[in-house]
Amino acid sequence: MDSLQIYNSLTRSKQVFTPIEPGKVRMYVCGMTIYDYCHIGHARMMMSFDVVYRWLKALGYEVTYVRNITDIDDKIINRAGENGESISSLTARFTQYMHEDTSALGILPPDHEPRATEYVPEMLELIAKLEKNGLAYQSEDGDVNYSVRDFRGYGKLSGKSLDDLRAGERVDVNTGKRDPLDFVLWKSAKPSEPDEAKWSSRWGAGRPGWHIECSAMSSKLLGDHFDIHGGGADLQFPHHENEIAQSEGASGHPFVNYWMHNGFVRVDNEKMSKSLGNFFTIRDVLKNYDAEVLRFFIIRSHYRSPLNYSDAHLDDARSALTRLYTALKDIDVQDKPVDWQEEHAVRFSRAMNDDFNTPEAVAVLFELANEVNRTHSVEVASQLKALGSVLGLLERDPRQFLQGNGTVDENEEKWIEAQIQARREAKKTRDFAKADKIRNELLEKGIVLEDKPGGKTEWRRA
């Protein structure tokens, strides 16, 4: 089996993956800031690293996966205030919604899901180290800031030089800072902020800055040097750059070996964002599409490439996934582990080891489906199902997917079965015109009938 290669944002190249501790992988991914429903961009990020997590485990690694929750932030404070509710109530509610969305999409839960508010003592300890190392200072307004120009490696992840950076593009210029490039580690409490947004510290009451949260949580749960750190491409700068500055500034040694960033979701060739009003929540999409269709839509694009969202692309994904399930429909598939020596599995593995190349891996699934359609082989069908399962696909009963697609209800199913029975009676009386009319009426509603030997009729969605 080929060695796993990962595109490392730090070196801007693919590198053979070598874990710090043989056989074990420690991975941290920046998760949600919890104040609203998760959108398709969030789904893309979580799905990308769900695939990474699954494949690392398939390779036999013992993986410790941490994905945090940011539950204290300006947007959270403002939204709670607008709603007239507590911060804890707001974040608990949207954390539950996030878990419902990820469960529907088949995204495995991380091994640890730390909440920022539970790690404030660790953040304060880290800030104290930075102050001791001459990298943090308290300004006149009470904020504690990081002194960017005093960290020699700043810019190595993003490729930005200090001379090229302009403060107005990334931070509000604060007159209390020694340099406009400096960023906040500890925000001094404001009288207008609620008490639950304030913690005591040696620098006075306040709350942590966003960047210090991830440095503290990752080092606490994974150590101050670990294998993989991931997140969306929008986090590469300044968030991940600042994490490196904080973590390495405190420890004096490398922070993360491999940095991974998934690409943006685009709508009509523009980045999807709330400011543009072109974003779609996961639960809104799931009102019209089966969750596995959305999962398949995301997975069949490479995690680093832009993902162009549209109903047309989702419709195409549904049709493609239907073809895979149709291949399995009439075969007594056995739940067997993947035969990694089989030629299709070898190509699948080669694709996944090439920086998690899911488009090529999905192409192998279609090769297997074609062979199943040709040979009706139980062995080949079982291999197709097993390889699909590695990606979190094809794990349902084929008829459940083909008949439902997430839109059928009990009353509709009863109506369809009644129409099939009426068609059966019409054929018995040789009223073939009526039988054809029923078939065509069902087809107009997106229901395809398939007559089987012995007079049995099955149906599926078109």
Query: Confidence band (pLDDT; 50, 70, 90) for 394?
Result: very high
168 shares a domain with 302: no
How much is the average pLDDT of 41-54?
Answer: 97
The per-residue pLDDT for range 217-248, each reduced to its tens digit, is 999 999 999 999 999 999 999 999 999 999 99
In a domain, 274, yes or no: no
User: Do β-strands 256-262 and 206-208 pair in parallel, antiparallel, or remain unpaired?
Assistant: unpaired
In a domain, 380, yes or no: yes
Which residue in this structure is represented by tokens 């991975």? Answer: 27
In CATH, what number is assigned to the domain containing residue 63? Answer: 3.40.50.620
Query: Confidence band (pLDDT; 50, 70, 90) for 168?
Result: very low
Which residue in this structure is represented by tokens 């006075």? Answer: 204
Cα separation values, 431 from 404, 426, 439, 450, 456, Å = 30, 5, 13, 19, 18
320 shares a domain with 197: no
pLDDT at 377 exceeding the cut of 90: yes
In a domain, 229, yes or no: yes
How much is the average pLDDT of 63-79?
Answer: 97
In this structure, the number of other CB atoms found within 10 A of the CB of residue 81 comes to 15
CA 252 to chain centre: 31
377 shares a domain with 231: no
What is the count of structural domains for the chain? 3
Q: Which residue has the higher pLDDT, 52 or 453?
A: 52
Query: How far is Cα 135 from Cα 148, in angstroms, rounded to an integer?
Result: 8
At 445 the pLDDT is 74
Contact 99, 113 (CB under 8 A): no
Query: How far is Cα 243 from Cα 30, in angstroms, rounded to an integer?
Result: 11
In a domain, 356, yes or no: yes
In CATH, what number is assigned to the domain containing residue 395? Answer: 1.20.120.640
Query: How far is Cα 298 from Cα 51, in angstroms, rounded to an integer?
Result: 11
385 shares a domain with 259: no
How much is the average pLDDT of 142-147?
Answer: 97
pLDDT at 172 exceeding the cut of 60: no
257 shares a domain with 209: yes
Q: Phi-psi bin for 3: left (phi > 0), alpha (psi -120 to 50), beta?
A: beta
At 427 the pLDDT is 79
In a domain, 167, yes or no: yes
382 shares a domain with 250: no
The per-residue pLDDT for range 110-140, each reduced to its tens digit, is 999 999 999 999 999 999 999 999 999 999 9
Tokens of 229: 């750190």
Query: How far is Cα 264 from Cα 233, in angstroms, rounded to an integer?
Result: 7
The least confident of 86-100, 210-224, 259-273, 427-441 is: 427-441
At 442 the pLDDT is 84
Please report which helix (H) or strand (E) contains residue 27, including its range: strand 24-33
How much is the average pLDDT of 384-396?
Answer: 97
417 shares a domain with 399: no
DSSP assignment string, 130-192: HHHTTSEEE-TTS-EEE-GGG-TTTTTTTT--TTT--GGGTS---TTSSSTT-EEEEEEP-TT
Mean model confidence pLDDT for the chain: 92
Four-residue CA torsion sign, 182, 187, 188, 190? positive
* 253 burial type by CB count under 10 A (0-12 exposed, 13-18 middle, 19+ buried): exposed
Query: How far is Cα 343 from Cα 361, in angstroms, rounded to an integer?
Result: 13
Q: Which residue has the higher pLDDT, 404 or 91?
A: 91
In a domain, 276, yes or no: no
Q: Is 57 annotated as a binding residue?
A: no
The per-residue pLDDT for range 283-302, each reduced to its tens digit, is 999 999 999 999 999 999 99
Q: Is 38 annotated as a binding residue?
A: no
Query: Confidence band (pLDDT; 50, 70, 90) for 167?
Result: very low
DSSP assignment string, 373-428: HHH--HHHHHHHHHHHHHTT-S-S-HHHHHHHTTT--HHHHHHHHHHHHHHHHHHH
Query: Confidence band (pLDDT; 50, 70, 90) for 175?
Result: low
Query: How far is Cα 88 from Cα 96, in angstroms, rounded to an integer?
Result: 12
368 shares a domain with 221: no
Query: Confidence band (pLDDT; 50, 70, 90) for 176?
Result: confident
At 303 the pLDDT is 98
Cα–Cα nearest to 143, from 166, 126, 162, 127: 127
User: Do β-strands 24-33 and 62-70 pair in parallel, antiparallel, or remain unpaired?
Assistant: parallel
How much is the average pLDDT of 267-281?
Answer: 78
Percent of the chain with pLDDT over 90: 79
pTM for this structure? 0.90
305 shares a domain with 388: yes
446 shares a domain with 365: no
In b/e form, how buried is each residue of 51-68, taking b as 16+ CB within 10 angstroms?
A: bbbbbbeebebebbbbbb
Contact 266, 12 (CB under 8 A): no
211 shares a domain with 97: yes
- Domain limits at 418? 408-461
Tokens of 429: 């009386």
46 shares a domain with 148: yes
pLDDT at 207 exceeding the cut of 50: yes
The least confident of 12-21, 97-106, 266-275, 365-374 is: 266-275
Q: Which of the listed residues 266, 301, 325 is the one where a domain comes to its end?
A: 266
In a domain, 378, yes or no: yes
Q: What are the backbone dihedrals phi and psi of residue 280, each rounded to the nearest 5 degrees, phi first?
A: -130, 125
In a domain, 399, yes or no: yes
